[in-house]
Chain A
Amino acid sequence: MRRALALAALAAVPLAVLGVFFVLPVLGMVSEGFWTDGRFDPAAVLEVLGRPRVHRVVWFTVWSASAGTALSLLLGVPAAHLLHRRRFPGRRVLRAVLLVPFVLPTVVVGVAFRELIGEAGPLGFLGLDGSAAAIVAGLVFFNVAVVIRAVGAAWESLDPRPAEAAAALGASPAHVFRTVTLPMLRPAIMSAASVVFLFCATAFGVVLTLGGLRYSSVETEIYLLTTNLLDLQAAAALSIVQLVAITSLLVVTSRLRAVPDPTLARSTARPPRVSRADWPGLLATGLVVVLVGLPVAALVAGSLQVGDGYGLANYRALDTVGSRSALLVPVTDALVTSLRTAVDATWMSLSLGLLVAVVVTRRSRSRTERRARGLLDGLFMLPLGVSAVTLGFGFLITLDRPPVDFRDSLLLVPIAQALVALPLVVRTLAPVLGGVDDRQRQAAASLGAGPLRAFLTVDLPAMWKPLLAAAGFAFAVSLGEFGATSFLAREDHPTLPIVIYHLIGHPGAMNYGMALAASVVLAGTTALVMLLVERLRVPSVGSF
């Protein structure tokens, strides 16, 4: 009984936050669709599910997200091996740079991609523009780094001796990988795959921009139905499809993840140098570098273009409000707003994430307790899978009266961003906490330490570095967040991605150049934050 109470007490704060800022708004928006003219009318919503267009949209979402996830794994797993299990100069910088796409605004990435693969671009001969292949490439561009970090972190701490033993007994490298390494990596691969699938299935800008409007996903459809047509019944139907699909995905992956955590057997062996046998890793890393590097290079080149020559004018203009005062605040002010918002989002998601991680990793004594903890774990992943516009409109219609009148509050933006970063924070902290031997806590308790003291002396020393690392991750997510932020940010306090969007949406060569320059600054800031995180060298950063 006391355990149940303690569990409830620890979970109370994160649950309350999730309830107010996620469950309430989403329910509010979905119920708008179910109640027409004050009458409960579920039949109309169900009718929507029968439309052929909805079937097409759901089918496209499933296969494009599956293809994006599969390809991210195919490239990411070998690259993770090279970048985390082999030693070569510059690998830390490379790992930090590969995370940059994660925070770039899609509108800018769309421009960079299409300048490359458009008919006039250097890769135009491939005929990729407006194709499903381009969408999948875009999805991989954004998500391959997630696989590299998640799987790499797990791989880094794998004990190499079983694989070495198998090799000494005559197994071929492929055989060793299949029978020894892969089973040990499976939990990490599965959780990376589930997060990447969620990101792919809810991708918005990539589908529209790179697909040339020929494709719609559940996410783009909800956006169109909500913002343009105000067809809330259809939007509610699709939101429910989203929620059901995500919940079942989480159930499946939590089953597949449920194996002893490989990070328990930590290895501190210095990784060997790159050898010829590493060709799969070299090949995959090369492809990833090309895939990520080309659009980023196009972006940098574009930002340096001034008239017909090159120069830094676009960067110098960043502390102005644009050539015709197109902005309310200079880009530099927006950067400051972004950084300050990120500080708030970081401490919010860290405090919540820490509580959630503690709750979900404590050893369960009964099956019900384990179920409850597993349920909580999944619950906090949900914000990744629900459309930002559903959440944004939901905020407006539900958080409008005391005690929760937040519509005007500056804190709404960091709170929304914290919810987005929360799953990543939990996935960074939980493996470390789960890896702490429970007997140490019991020993502390038997020596007279209270639960808080035991946490401070046993858990905290093991996790202060992961905490800082999760902080870096949350910081970067907040810097790049656009969907929810664009809905909630106040006109006089725009964040950097919002200003970039504003600049690129209006005519004038200077606006275009400034938008690209501002994106490079955003990318640079992110890479810097990630590099600092790398300096901490925590094995589980990004280990979902």
Chain B
Amino acid sequence: MRRIWAVAPALLVSGSLALAGCSTIGEDGGGSDGASSPDRVVLVTHDSFSLPKPLQRKFEEQSGYDLVVRGSGDAGILTNKLVLTKDDPLGDVAFGVDNTFASRALDAGVFAPYDASLPAGADQYRLAGDDDHELTPIDNASVCVNVDDTWFASHDLAPPKTLDDLADPRYRDLFVTPGAATSSPGMAFLLTTVAAYGEDGWQDYWSRLMANGTRLVDGWSQAYEVDFTQGGGKGDRPIVLSYDSSPAFTVADGTSTTSALLDTCFRQVEYAGVLAGAANPQGAEALVDFLLTPEVQAALPDSMYVFPVDASVPLPKEWASFAKQPTDPYAVDPADISAHRDEWLREWSDVTSR
């Protein structure tokens, strides 16, 4: 009998822990009443979305709406979520659908038209085939092959320049890339090769690539941080698939130790759009406009590792010096990507696991 009372303190402690805020209950506040509220804007996005708190507050002050951000998963998960919930949308506005998934969302009728006025230079990022202006370009980043210049200097070897070089025996066992099936930059690289070698030629290129000792890993972190010679884990591969902005993150003593090969790039553009059936379409449009303001555009490189679509905003110092963008990246028609994704991934899996 006495031992029962020994439990009482434990129950008391846990009860008071919950009351003292060691629990998430009671935190819900205005968050529990779904999307149907006219005085707030619900932004649905992916887990890489990150806008500094002061900017989020600024939007709330200017527009008079509370901003609620719901972000999880990558661009693919985001797109599929939007498609699956299109009859009862998760929010008012979405950010983060990119040009490799955009067609799927457009075909499903996820977005409502909204023709935002674009800043200088942003027109070139519009999605081909989006004639109703359902998607507004917000940022872009190109997936490019990166090389460790210090490694090539110390090995007396000229760094590769083109896609063909990667299959050249001189660069045998030097390249590491995330796979297309499991990684968004990996998929972009597959699309690069589709654009470069044609719908019937890329399979042969990949055979040569694999025969030349290319290492495949599951994601960008593995490729860059573990296998790349300039990554956190000091790996053994001096050629890696990464982004055009990556050289800005390897600056030492006023110079970057890596560079991006600008003839191997595929440009990913991220879009924002008002969701069809949004409870607060005005608020959604206000947020799309806000994402295009110079302040947000200028904050993009530091908070989301991407380039703004506004050509007039200044870039951070390292970016201005070391992050060079390709002038003529490879491109594949979004409708083609949507139609062939399944087939290309299957063929790619066959070629690379042979």
Contacts and interface: CB of A to CB of B under 8 A. Distances in A.
A461 B3 CA distance: 6
Contact of B345 (A228, A328, A347, A491): A228
Contact of A411 (B21, B25, B33, B72): B25
A506 interface: yes
A208 B179 CA distance: 10
Contact of A492 (B69, B217, B233, B345): B69
Nearest to B341: A229
A231 B17 CA distance: 45
A507 B52 contact: no
Interface string A270-295: 00000000000000000000000000
B24 A341 contact: yes
Contact of B84 (A224, A396, A413): A396
A493 B218 CA distance: 27
Contact of B226 (A111, A325, A409): A111
Contacts of B235: 118, 120
Contacts of B126: none
Given A227-B73, A227-B80, A396-B84, A111 B352 contact: no
B345 A505 contact: no
A91 interface: no
Contacts of A498: 47
A339 interface: yes
Interface in A208-233: 208-209, 212-214, 220, 224, 226-231
Given A343-B18, A491-B69, A212 B221 contact: no
For the side of the interface on B, what is the size category?
Answer: 35 or more
B232 A208 contact: no
B85 A505 contact: no
Interface string B28-50: 10011111000000000101111
Contacts of A343: 14, 17-18, 22-23
Nearest to A114: B226
A457 B17 contact: no
Contact of B32 (A111, A114, A409): A409
A488 B7 CA distance: 34
Q: Which of B77, B79, B341 has the most CB of A within 10 A?
A: B77
Nearest to A471: B14
B118 interface: no
A464 B6 contact: yes
B197 interface: no
B232 A512 contact: yes
Interface stretch (A10-18, A192-200, A379-387, A400-408): A400-408
B333 interface: no
B1 to A, nearest CB: 6
Chain A binding site: helix, strand, loop or mixed by DSSP?
A: helix
B232 A302 contact: yes
Contacts of B53: 328
A323 to B, nearest CB: 10
A413 B217 CA distance: 30
A324 B302 CA distance: 6
Contact of B80 (A119, A205, A209, A393): A393
A325 B72 contact: no
Interface string B66-105: 0011111110110111011100101000000000000010
Interface residues of A, number: 77
B182 interface: yes
Interface in B226-277: 226-227, 231-236, 242-243, 245-246, 249
A456 interface: yes
Given A213-B181, A339-B22, A118 B353 contact: no
A220 B179 CA distance: 13
A396 B24 contact: no
B27 interface: yes
Interface string B193-209: 00000000000000000
Chain B binding site: helix, strand, loop or mixed by DSSP?
A: mixed
A208 B87 CA distance: 34
Contact of B217 (A209, A326, A400): A209
Contact of A230 (B52, B80, B305): B80
Contact of A340 (B23, B32, B52): B23
Given A213-B181, A507-B246, A347 B18 contact: yes
B115 interface: no
B70 A506 contact: no
A102 B74 CA distance: 25
Contacts of A513: 232
A173 interface: no
B50 A327 contact: yes
Contacts of A377: none
Given A224-B181, A397-B84, A512 B225 contact: yes
A278 B216 CA distance: 43
Interface string A470-495: 00000000000000001111111100
A358 B302 CA distance: 54
Closest 8 CB pairs of A and B: A512-B232, A120-B236, A208-B218, A507-B249, A491-B71, A491-B69, A213-B179, A461-B3
Interface of B: 1, 3-4, 6-7, 10, 14, 17-18, 21-25, 27-28, 31-35, 45, 47-50, 52-53, 68-74, 76-77, 79-81, 83-85, 88, 90, 104, 179, 181-182, 187, 215-222, 224-227, 231-236, 242-243, 245-246, 249, 302-303, 305, 341-342, 345, 352-353
14 contacts: A107-B221, A111-B222, A120-B234, A326-B305, A343-B17, A343-B18, A344-B24, A401-B88, A408-B35, A414-B24, A464-B6, A489-B72, A491-B69, A504-B225
Given A409-B31, A411-B25, 10 more contacts: A32-B84, A114-B226, A118-B235, A214-B216, A226-B80, A343-B22, A396-B85, A408-B31, A486-B72, A509-B249
Interface of A: 32, 107, 110-111, 114-115, 118-120, 130, 205, 208-209, 212-214, 220, 224, 226-231, 302, 324-328, 337, 339-341, 343-344, 347, 389, 393, 396-397, 400-401, 405, 407-411, 413-414, 456-457, 460-461, 464, 468, 486-493, 498, 501-502, 504-509, 512-513, 516
